[in-house]
Amino acid sequence: MFSRIRALIVKELLAILRDKKSRFVLIVPPLIQLFVFSFAATQEAKNQTLAVLNLDEGKPALTLEQDFAAAATFSEVLHLRGAAEVKPVIDEQQAIAVLWIPEDFSRNIEHGRPAEVGFILDGRKTNTAGIVQGYAQRIVNNYQAGLAAGGQSAGAQLVVRNWFNPNLDFKWYTVPSLVCILTTLISLLVTSLSVAREREMGTFDQLLVSPLHPLEILVGKAVPALIIAMIEGTFMVLAAVFLMRVPLNGSLPLLYASMAVFLLAIIGVGLFISSLSMTQQQAILGAFVFMVPAIILSGFASPIENMPPWLQAITQGNPLRYFMTIVRGIFLKDISAALVWRQTWPMAIIAAVTLSTATWLFKKRME
Amino acid sequence: MEHAPVDIQGLSYTFGNNQPPALDDLSAVIRPGAVTGLVGPDGAGKTTLIRLMAALFLPGAGTISIFGLDTRTETTRLHRIIGYMPQKFGLYEDLSVMQNLRLYADLQGVTGAARQQVFQRLLAFTGLAPFQSRLAGRLSGGMKQKLGLACALIRKPRLLLLDEPSVGVDPVSRRELWRMVQELVNEEMAVIWSTAYLDEAEQCDEVLLLNEGRLIFSGPPQELTKRVTGRCFQIRNIAGNRRRVLANALQREEVQDGIVQGENVRIVLRAVSSLPDPAVLHAGPASQLVPVAPRFEDAFVDILGGGPGGTSVLAASMAQIEDYGQITVEAEGLTKRFGDFTAARDITFAIKRGEIFGLLGPNGAGKSTTFKMMCGLLRPSAGIGKVVGLDLQKAPGQARSRLGYMAQKFSLYGDLSARQNLEFFSGVYGLAGARQRETVGRMIDIFNLGPHLKVAAKELPLGFKQRLALSCAVMHEPAVLFLDEPTSGVDPLTRREFWTHINGLVERGVTVMVTTHFMDEAEYCDRIGLIYRGQMIATGTPDELKGRTESEQLPDPTLEDAFIELLHQWDDKNREAA
C-alpha cells in the first residue's frame, strides 16, 4: 500500500514540477502578488489634498490650520476663499476633505467657550475618508491638549505608543496576512485542479481501474499538495522577512505545525471542489467561490468584531480566520504555544470535516 | 482557364524550430466535382493541411491557392467561399439546433427571406428537422456532426473542408454522413474529407495519402490498390487456431502483411507468383488460399515496405496466465440507470479464458456504459460484473489488480517521461524494489523505448506512445485486458504491431475485451456482442453475424454491413411487436 501511495505522490510532484507552465504559476505570480498587494493594499492615507476654508483671522485658527497642513497625510493644501467653493472642491475630487473654520472660532477659544470646526469629507471614498477622519481627530485632540497646557510644553499630554508595530507600518500587518492568503490560494488551486486535469486527459479512468483504493488516490492527491504548499509558504515567509523586512518574533515550529493543520483543512476543501468539477474551468470557478468569502470573512480587510453576529458565527467555520490570527501573532509578537493551540484545534476540526466530506463525495461520485 | 479548387505548390510547414516539418514539400491539385479524401494516420499532417487551406495558418514555404486566390494575400475573399468543419465543430452545446443554425447564419451574414429557405433546406437535408428545439449538447455524436455540417453549408461554399467528420461516429451515422456529402458534390463544389479510416479512402473519388508530413500518393484510390493486385489472399477453412496461422504466415519471407478477418486470415504477398505452402502454415488439411480483391490499406502497407513480423516478444516474456476456470469475465443481468433513463438493461455474457470479445454498438447505445461497468468504472444499478471470478463490487481492489486497461487516447501522463510513466504504473500495481526495476527494464528492452526514456510522454512519436501505453497496461501481467478503441487513428503498421502483441498475449491465456467503432479491430475478435438501445441484441463470431445478414442483395456482407443490418432487423421486429 505504501509503495502504491509513494508512486502516486512521486507522480503528482513530477507532473507539477516537470510542466514549465505550472512551475511558473507556482512561483512567479504568488511572489508578484505578495509585492503588489503589500504596497497597494495599504490602509494608510497618504498624499491627500486638504482644502481649508478659514473664515477666522485669529491666532488659534491659524495654529489649527498649520497643525493640519503639517500632517504627513496631506501633501497639499488648497485655500478656499468662500463657502461657495466648498461644494465644487469636493464634487470635482480636488480634495478629500475640507476644514471649515468659522468666523467665531478664535473668539470662542479665547473666551473659553466651546468652539466648533467643520470637517467635510468625501464619502464616496469611504475607506480613505474614514482614515482621514481618524487623523483629523488626532490632530484636533493634540491641538486641544496644547490649549489645555496653556501653551506650555511641559503640560499633561496623551502619549500614544503602538505595541507590536511601533510605527504603525501597515506592511507589517498586510504581509503576514498575505502569507496566509497566498498559501491558501496555492494549495486550493493545486488540489482542485489536479483531479479535473486528470479527468480531462483521461488518466483518471486509468487510476480508477487500478487496484488503488479511492482513499489512496485521495491521500496521493493531498500529500503532494501539502508538500508544495508548505514549500510555497516557506518562500513567502522568507520573502516577508528578508525582502519586506517584517520582523518574525515567534516560534517557527509553531508556525509550521499550525500551517500543516491549516493546509489540511484547505486541501479538504480543494479535494471537495475537485471531485465535483469535470473540467479545470469548473475547478477554478469553484476555488474562487470558496476563496473570496474566505478572505472577506477572515478579518483581513475588516475586523470580525464589526460584523453582525450571524456573520461572526459563520466565520467560526473559516480556517483562514484562525490561521491569520496565528501568523500575525507569530510574526509580530511571540505568542505562546497555548494561544496557538487555541486557534489550531478549531482548524483541526474543520480539516477533519472537509477531508471526510471530500472522501465521502469522492467515493460517491465514482459510482 | 478555370482555376482549380485547390492548387498546392511546394508547400512546407513547421511548428517549431526544432520540430520535424509537419508538412514537407507537398504539391497537389484538387479537382472540382469530386470528394477528395485526405487520408493518413493521426499526426500525418491532415489537420495542418486543412487549416492551411482554410488560411488559418500561412504556409512556411510554397503556396496554396483556392480558386486562384492566394491564402497569404486574399484571406477575406477566400473565407467567403470556404466552408470549414473542424474536428470538434464549434457547436454551442447549450443552444438548440435551431439557435445554433441562426447564430451561424448571423455570423455569416445570411439574413432575410433567404435564411428561412436555407434553414428548411439544411434541416431536411440533414434529417434534423424533428430535433430543431433539442439542445446541441444532447445530440448523439452522429447528429452533432450533421449539425456541424449544416452550419458549414449555410453559405453554400465552393470548397467544403471536413476535418475527420467520421471520428467517434458509429457506422450507421458514418454512412449517412457520407451519403450526404456525396449529394453535395457537383461541378460547383469540391469537398475535402479527411480521415484516418482507410476503408473510407476507397470510397473517395480522389485521394491524397499523407504519412509523416509527406504526400506518398495522389490520384484515384483504385490506382493505388492496383499495385497489390494478385497478391492478396484469404486463408479459409482454417482448422485450429487462426492467430497461430497468422503468426506462421507472417514469418514467411514471401508474406509481407497479414491480419485476422473473422475466421480467416488475410495475407498480402511480396510478389505475385510466390504463394506460401499451406502445409507450413499449419492451417489444417482443408485450408485453402483464395485470391481476394486488394484493399487500399494493403497498398498503403505495401508503400511503407510491408508489415511487421508476427511474433510478439512481449507475449514471449510473459508467464502463462493461470487457469481460473473456463469463464474469466462474466456479466449477469448488468443494468445501469441514470435517473429515468436506462442506459444498459439486463446485459448478460461470459468470456472464456484466452478469448477476444468485442463490444460493438452505435453511439449512446450503452456500449461504453457496459464496458465501464465491466472494468469497474461504473457501479451497476443491478446485476453483477465478475473478473477472474471476483465480483467487481465486492472485491474491487483484488479484481482490479488482475485487469489491465488501455484507452483510446493512451492515457499516459504527458508531462512525465517514458520511464517515469513506467515507474508510476508499475508502482500503483504494487510492483516495488528489484521486481519493479526488472519489469520496467524488460518493457524498455521489448519495446525499444531506450532512446526515448527521458522524453516527456506527450512528445513521443505516436507509435511509441502506443507501445508505452500498452506496456503500462500489461506490466503487472493482467489476466484480463480491457481495450477502448485501442488503435483508432494509428497508422496500419503500428496497428498490426499492436494486434500482434494482443494475439500473442491471448495465446498466453490473457482474456481481452475490446470496444470499438472500427471494423478492422472487430475482425480480430473471437466473438462480438452487439449492443443497441441498452440491450445486447446479438452475439456471435464475426462470421456468424455476417452469415445472419446474408441476403440476395448482400451476398457477401462486410462486418459493417452486418452491423447495420442487425440494427435494422431489430428495429423492424420491435416495431411489429409494439
Residue B405: its chain A contacts at CB < 8 A? 205-206, 209
The set of residues, in sequence order, having a beta carbon less than 8 Å from that of B502 and lying 6+ positions away, is: B356, B481, B483, B512, B524
Q: Which three cell numbers stand for residue A206?
A: 486509468
Q: With an 8 Å Cβ cutoff, are B416 and A14 in contact?
A: yes
Of B413, B417, B428, the CB nearest to A4: B428
Q: What is the pLDDT of residues B234-246, one digit of tens each?
A: 888 888 888 888 8
Q: A interface mutation test: which of B428, B458, B476, B485 has the most A CBs within 10 A?
A: B428
Among chain A residues, CA nearest to B431: A3
Q: Which of B88, B103, B194 lies closest to B154, judged by CA?
A: B103
Q: With an 8 Å Cβ cutoff, are A3 and B430 in contact?
A: yes
What is the structure's pLDDT at A154? 36
Rounded to whole angstroms, the Cα distance separating A137 from A17 reads: 54
Contact between A191 and B396 under an 8 Å Cβ cutoff? The reply is: no
Alpha-helical (H) ranges within B290-338 are: 296-303, 313-317
Q: Is the predicted pLDDT of residue B46 greater than 80, yes or no?
A: yes
Contact between A187 and A267 under an 8 Å Cβ cutoff? The reply is: yes
Of B400, B414, B482, the CB nearest to A201: B414
Residue B375: its chain A contacts at CB < 8 A? 209
Distances (CA, A) of B395 to B313, B340, B390, B417: 33, 29, 6, 33
Q: B106-110 contacts: CB < 8 A, separation 24 or more?
A: B108/B154, B108/B155, B110/B154, B110/B155
Domain boundaries, chain A: 48-148, 167-365
Per-residue burial over A340-360, b if 16 or more Cβ lie within 10 Å, else e, is beebbebbbebbeebbeebbe
Q: How far is B486 from chain A (nearest CA, A)?
A: 14
Mean predicted lDDT score pLDDT of chain A: 83
Q: Is the predicted pLDDT of residue A157 greater than 50, yes or no?
A: no
Q: A169 — phi, psi (to 5°)?
A: -75, 115
Strand (E) or helix (H) holding B208: strand B206-211
Q: Is the predicted pLDDT of residue B207 greater than 50, yes or no?
A: yes
Rounded to whole angstroms, the Cα distance separating B159 from B151 reads: 14
The residue length of chain B stands at 578
Rounded to whole angstroms, the Cα distance separating B275 from B289 reads: 9
Rounded to whole angstroms, the Cα distance separating B36 from B161 reads: 10
- Work out the average pLDDT over B546-561: 85
Residue A19: its chain B contacts at CB < 8 A? 415
Highest mean pLDDT among A140-154, B455-469, B524-538: B524-538
Among chain B residues, CA nearest to A23: B415
Scanning B412-431 for CB atoms below 8 A from A yields 412-417, 420, 423-431
Q: With an 8 Å Cβ cutoff, are B427 and A19 in contact?
A: no
- Work out the average pLDDT over B307-327: 77
Q: Which three cell numbers stand for residue B465?
A: 506512445
> What band does B527 get if pLDDT is binned at 50, 70 and 90?
very high
Q: With an 8 Å Cβ cutoff, are A212 and B413 in contact?
A: no
Which domains occur in chain B, in start order? 6-219 (3.40.50.300), 226-310 (3.30.70)
Residue B397: its chain A contacts at CB < 8 A? 211-213
Rounded to whole angstroms, the Cα distance separating B147 from B145 reads: 5
Q: With an 8 Å Cβ cutoff, are B428 and A6 in contact?
A: no
Q: Is the predicted pLDDT of residue A263 greater than 90, yes or no?
A: yes
Q: Which of B441, B414, B415, B411 lies closest to B426, judged by CA?
A: B441
Rounded to whole angstroms, the Cα distance separating B194 from B189 reads: 16
Q: With an 8 Å Cβ cutoff, are B423 and A209 in contact?
A: no
- Work out the average pLDDT over B500-504: 90
Q: Which of B539, B562, B530, B532 lies closest to B549, judged by CA?
A: B562
- Work out the average pLDDT over B8-33: 85
Q: Is the predicted pLDDT of residue A46 greater than 80, yes or no?
A: no
- Residue type present at position A23: R
Q: What is the 8-class DSSP label of residue B59?
A: -
Fold held by A48-148? abc type-2 transporter like fold (3.40.1710)
Q: With an 8 Å Cβ cutoff, are B379 and A366 in contact?
A: yes
- Work out the average pLDDT over B553-561: 84
> What band does A161 get if pLDDT is binned at 50, 70 and 90?
low
Q: Which three cell numbers stand for residue B446?
A: 521489448
Residue B428: its chain A contacts at CB < 8 A? 4, 7-8, 207, 210-212
What is the structure's pLDDT at B192? 92
Q: Which three cell numbers stand for residue A145?
A: 491638549
Crossing angle of helices A280-296 and A319-332, rounded to 10°: 60
Residue A207: its chain B contacts at CB < 8 A? 428
Secondary structure of residue A56 in the 3-state scheme: coil
Name the more confident of A130 and B370: B370
Scanning B477-536 for CB atoms below 8 A from A yields 482
Q: With an 8 Å Cβ cutoff, are B411 and A205 in contact?
A: yes
Q: Is the predicted pLDDT of residue B1 greater than 60, yes or no?
A: no
Among chain B residues, CA nearest to A9: B424
Residue found by looking up cell 493461470 in the block:
B322
Q: A163 — phi, psi (to 5°)?
A: -75, 155
Q: What is the pLDDT of residues B274-310, one digit of tens each?
A: 777 777 778 788 888 888 888 888 888 888 887 787 7
Q: What is the pLDDT of residues A346-358, one digit of tens each?
A: 999 999 999 999 8
Detail the DSSP E strand segments found in B4-87: 6-13, 23-30, 35-39, 61-66, 69-70, 82-85
Contact between A96 and A125 under an 8 Å Cβ cutoff? The reply is: yes
- Residue type present at position B536: M
The set of residues, in sequence order, having a beta carbon less than 8 Å from that of A84 and lying 6+ positions away, is: none
| Most distant CA pair in chain A, distance | 91
Q: How far is B427 from chain A (nearest CA, A)?
A: 5
Distances (CA, A) of B173 to A112, A263, B141, B178, B490: 98, 51, 8, 8, 22
> What band does A41 get if pLDDT is binned at 50, 70 and 90?
low
A72 contact B CB<8A:
no
Of A6, A206, A212, the CB nearest to B411: A206
Q: Is the predicted pLDDT of residue A265 greater than 90, yes or no?
A: yes
Of A203, A211, A366, the CB nearest to B397: A211
What is the structure's pLDDT at A267? 92
Of A4, A201, A206, the CB nearest to B427: A4
- Work out the average pLDDT over B13-42: 85
Q: Is the predicted pLDDT of residue A209 greater than 90, yes or no?
A: no
Q: Which of B567, B495, B564 lies closest to B178, judged by CA?
A: B564
Q: What is the pLDDT of residues A182-205, one digit of tens each?
A: 889 888 988 888 888 888 888 888
Rounded to whole angstroms, the Cα distance separating B361 from B367 reads: 6
SS (H, E, C) B448-489: CCHHHCCCEHHHCCHHHHHHHHHHHHHCCCCCEEEEECCCCC
Among chain B residues, CA nearest to A5: B428
Q: To the nearest 5 percent, what fractions of chain B are helix, strand and coil?
A: 35, 25, 35
Residue found by looking up cell 486550493 in the block:
A188
Q: Kindly state the percentage of chain A with pLDDT values over 90.
A: 12
Q: Kindly state the percentage of chain B with pLDDT values over 90.
A: 8
Task: Tell me which of A146-160, A328-342, B352-366, B401-415 is least confident.
Answer: A146-160
Of B375, B415, B431, the CB nearest to A209: B375
Query: What is the number of helices (H) and of strands (E) in chain A?
Result: 14, 4
- Work out the average pLDDT over A284-297: 90
Q: What is the pLDDT of residues B128-167, one digit of tens each?
A: 888 888 888 878 777 888 888 888 888 888 899 998 888 7
End-to-end CA distance of chain B: 61
**Strand A97-101 vs strand B288-291: parallel, antiparallel, or unpaired?**
unpaired
Of A6, A15, A202, the CB nearest to B416: A15
Name the more confident of B575 and B208: B208
What global pTM score does this model have?
Answer: 0.80
Cα dihedral sign, B98-B104-B107-B112: negative
Q: What is the pLDDT of residues A167-179, one digit of tens each?
A: 556 677 788 888 8
What is the structure's pLDDT at A167? 59
Q: Which three cell numbers stand for residue A170?
A: 501597515
Pairs across A and B, CB distance < 8 A: 84
Q: With an 8 Å Cβ cutoff, are A18 and B412 in contact?
A: no
Among chain A residues, CA nearest to B406: A206
**Strand A74-79 vs strand A48-54: parallel, antiparallel, or unpaired?**
parallel
Secondary structure of residue B152 in the 3-state scheme: helix
